[in-house]
Amino acid sequence: MKIQLQKTNQRYEFIGDTILDFDLSIFLFNNYPNLDEGSLTKIRSGAVDQNALVELGKKIQIGDYLLLSKAEDSTGGRDKSSIIEDAVEALIAAIYFDGGLKEVNNFVSKYIYPLIENLSKNPGEKDYKTRLQEYFAKKGKKVNYETLSKGPDHNKEFEASVFLENKVIGKGTGKSKKNAEQMAAKNAFSDIKE
């Protein structure tokens, strides 16, 4: 198969995301026969959510290998969650085109399957936003979110801040408002737990 050089990784991100879902679905189906469809879906979603892919991208230092515009590079693009997530998905597509599903499976089993063991123990675990809200509700306090978007419609990035009593306690970015708020809640929650 001949691959043409593209100016962006978006088409590769699309394929990488699809292949990753497929690989994890087969793994979960074969290794967790007692879990229902809903639990399998939650585990798969947790293993491929933005947080997990960003963590993986940082672990393999994918940001060091990205070709970015000078403007993007100068504003910290190599560390942006959405860029790292996209790069990991594009990398999975590149592995597929270069070595097929077997090589994708080798990569995924090394870096992503280990996450599944923890997720399978608590498939119904609440998301960070819910956990943060419940944590402060017990203290009689309420958190609020403010989310801004930037970039062109085809490649928007969202920035969220979570506030407690008008003070920012966490920030996050993502490709959707939901992901950005989850990242902000995760960052706030991890600061609280330290």
Terminal C-alpha separation, the chain: 50
Residue 17 among the catalytic residues: yes
Residue 157 among the catalytic residues: no
Catalytic residue among 17, 157, 159, 181: 17
- Taking the C-alpha atoms of residue 48 and residue 60, their distance in angstroms, rounded to an integer, is 16
Catalytic residue among 49, 85, 89, 157: 89
Neighbours of 123 (CB within 10 A): 18
**Which residues fall within 8 angstroms of residue 54, CB to CB, at 6 or more apart?**
81, 84, 85, 88
Check if the beta carbon of residue 94 is closer than 8 Å to that of residue 86: no
**Hey, which residues are catalytic here?**
17, 89
